[in-house]
Structure 1
Amino acid sequence: MEMNGTELHLSEYGFERRFDERGAIRWMQENWSKSFMFSALYAALVFAGQHYMKPRPKMNLRLPLVLWSLSLAVFSIIGAVRTGSYMLHILSHGGFRQSICDQSFYNGPISKFWAYAFVLSKAPELGDTAFIVLRKQKLIFLHWYHHITVLLYSWYSYKDMVAGGGWFMTMNYTVHAFMYSYYAARAAGLRVPRPFAVLITSSQIAQMVMGVTVSALVYRWMQQGDCHSRLDNITWATLMYLSYLLLFSNFFYQTYLRPLPKTTKTQ
């Protein structure tokens, strides 16, 4: 389904208007499988990097980390504002069902550029892990599993312009806007109140709940001919978001709720 007249109500920047979404979608249809190559290379470099750093002292990298996190924060903030404005427009003019099933997010004003920027950004975002490895911080399964699966699913889905993408991308932009801002502040040595970290993880959990909900609604409305998707895509999306929900919930418990082990005092 298409939202008619959308362009009459939203102002675009020149680069958004000139963006060739048809060429972008065609490129992704021809090259999306390269995401497997990126993922394999990423995994190899991560574990080889850990092996390389094991006998070596950790690196500081404070300034590069500040710049890296800040650049991703700015990108995510702008992406959240632009895609959010488009989603609010569809919600206000077409309702909730339209916001999920409408494919115009991939080719509409404003959103078409930021949809493509979103899926492409999942490749450079793999660089997050380099800082963890080089600074010899603890690398948890959730971190690298999340990076790989988001890259694979984003590229896999964009090429088919599946329903639900507007929600998936806008939510992720928004959460990343807060998350990378937090990382940048911490890297700069600023003291960030603990509730802010709790809020970020809580928003990630809420994102996963909404991801499962949107996937279920796409499946339901696809049966009625309203939502463009495929059963295999919905299956992968549901499994992905459910696994994230479990992993992020466990992370929340282990980090913020689990009682600290009692220490035995010695005389």
Structure 2
Amino acid sequence: MAPLADFLVTHLPLPNVPYHYTHYVVGKTPLSTTPEVVAGLVGYLVLVFGLREYMKDKQPLKLTTLFQLHNVLLSSGSLLLLTLMMEEIAPIAWKHGIFYAMCHQSSWTRRMEFYYMINYYFKYWELADTVFLALKKKPLAFLHVFHHSATALLCWSQLNGKTSVSWVVITLNLAVHVLMYYYYYATAGGAKIWWKKYLTSMQITQFVIDLFVVYFATYSYYASTHWASFDLPRLGSCAGTENAALFGCGLLTSYLFLFINFYIQTYKKPARAKPLVNGNSTANGVANGNGVVNGHAKGH
């Protein structure tokens, strides 16, 4: 049976596009340069906080159908991308081992690079989450806004750094997003979801695994290069630039602490009177009022 990627290429009427739309070429691929990325993320912040100010004296918009469509597309898109990435990397891991799949330069295949690009562009699509919050007059929590903008920056940095371990972080993130965006789709339609607390736990578990993997990959790189003269245990080096690795380690570490704090604030603190915002109760600055942080990512 042909892989899903081959099936899609063969059976879908895909147009011929320039090389830099299917391969990451700095300066030609959209949103690949520092000025473009900075302009995009600054524009995002200006837009959402501008909308918040604009909506202050206006009634919140419902936008239920549009919001559900947004979420079901992101959930199904995340599932498709997750499937494509796993069918590409699984044979490499099966044949050569998990360390090879995570660290060897040949794991950065042409298809994986294209999937990384799609995942990166998903991060800009996901910025619409915050636009919905602003138009609905929901609180713009720091964690939500920071996580959305920083994750787009993280994906861009890993594309530039060609870190082969990226697929581990991204596939975990996509798996969480399949459930998370389904959750938002369902609850927007009035469904009662009992597992929202466990979704937050999944988000935290994702970052714990992420950190173990990226710190291990970064250690492997340094143990085989800068620390080669020391008698350290090592399996080999990991592909990718130092700046991308260090930035990924630092940002993912901040995510873990921020999400643990969110979990404690939301689920562990004693119940107290909740302030009313436009007739709806909100607690602890939760971005959407449902006890789940939208947009993991999210990780990469």
TM class, shorter-length? 0.7 to 0.9
Cα distance in 2 between the residues matched to 1:37 and 1:191 = 39
Deviation at 1:92, TM superposition (A): 2.3
Q: Is the 8 A contact 2:211 2:249 kept in 1?
A: yes
| Structure 2 CA distance for partners of 1:118 and 1:251, relative to 1, 3 Å | same
| Structure 2 CA distance for partners of 1:105 and 1:29, relative to 1, 3 Å | farther
Secondary structure of the corresponding residue to residue 127 of structure 2: helix
Q: Is the 8 A contact 2:161 2:241 kept in 1?
A: no
Deviation at 1:15, TM superposition (A): 5.0
Deviation at 1:105, TM superposition (A): 4.6
Is residue 154 of structure 1 aligned with residue 165 of structure 2?
no
Is residue 107 of structure 1 aligned with residue 118 of structure 2?
no
Q: Which residue of 2 aligns with 1:212?
A: 211
Instruction: Give the unaligned 5+ runs of structure 1.
Output: 1-7
Cα distance in 1 between the residues matched to 2:253 and 2:97 = 26
Secondary structure of the corresponding residue to residue 12 of structure 1: helix
Deviation per residue, 1:196-226 (Å, 9 max, x gap): 2122111111111122112211212213262
Instruction: Give the unaligned 5+ runs of structure 2.
Output: 11-15, 225-235, 275-300
Secondary structure of the corresponding residue to residue 59 of structure 1: coil
Q: Which residue of 1 aligns with 2:201?
A: 202
Q: Which residue of 2 aligns with 1:175?
A: 176
Cα distance in 1 between the residues matched to 2:107 and 2:67 = 32
TM-score (norm 1): 0.85
Q: Is the 8 A contact 2:162 2:241 kept in 1?
A: no
Counterparts of residues 1-267 of structure 1 (less than 5 Å): 10=3, 12-13=5-6, 24-26=23-25, 27-28=28-29, 31-33=32-34, 34-109=36-111, 111-193=112-194, 196-223=195-222, 224=224, 226-261=237-272
Q: Is the 8 A contact 1:100 1:167 kept in 2?
A: yes
Cα distance in 2 between the residues matched to 1:188 and 1:77 = 21
| Structure 2 CA distance for partners of 1:175 and 1:32, relative to 1, 3 Å | farther
| Structure 2 CA distance for partners of 1:172 and 1:104, relative to 1, 3 Å | farther
Q: Is the 8 A contact 1:28 1:158 kept in 2?
A: no
Secondary structure of the corresponding residue to residue 73 of structure 2: helix
Quick one: which amino acid aligns to residue 163 of structure 1? S
| Structure 2 CA distance for partners of 1:252 and 1:167, relative to 1, 3 Å | same
Alignment RMSD: 2.6
Secondary structure of the corresponding residue to residue 25 of structure 1: coil
Choose between structure 1 and 2: higher helix proportion: 1
Deviation at 1:248, TM superposition (A): 0.7
Quick one: which amino acid aligns to residue 130 of structure 2? T
Q: Is the 8 A contact 1:21 1:107 kept in 2?
A: no
| Structure 2 CA distance for partners of 1:246 and 1:170, relative to 1, 3 Å | same
Deviation at 1:255, TM superposition (A): 1.5
Cα distance in 1 between the residues matched to 2:209 and 2:159 = 19
Cα distance in 1 between the residues matched to 2:73 and 2:31 = 29
Quick one: which amino acid aligns to residue 220 of structure 1? Y
4+ long deviations beyond 4 Å = 8-11, 14-23
Cα distance in 2 between the residues matched to 1:131 and 1:29 = 25
Q: Is the 8 A contact 1:76 1:174 kept in 2?
A: yes
| Structure 2 CA distance for partners of 1:85 and 1:200, relative to 1, 3 Å | farther
Q: Which residue of 2 aligns with 1:3?
A: none
| Structure 2 CA distance for partners of 1:58 and 1:22, relative to 1, 3 Å | closer
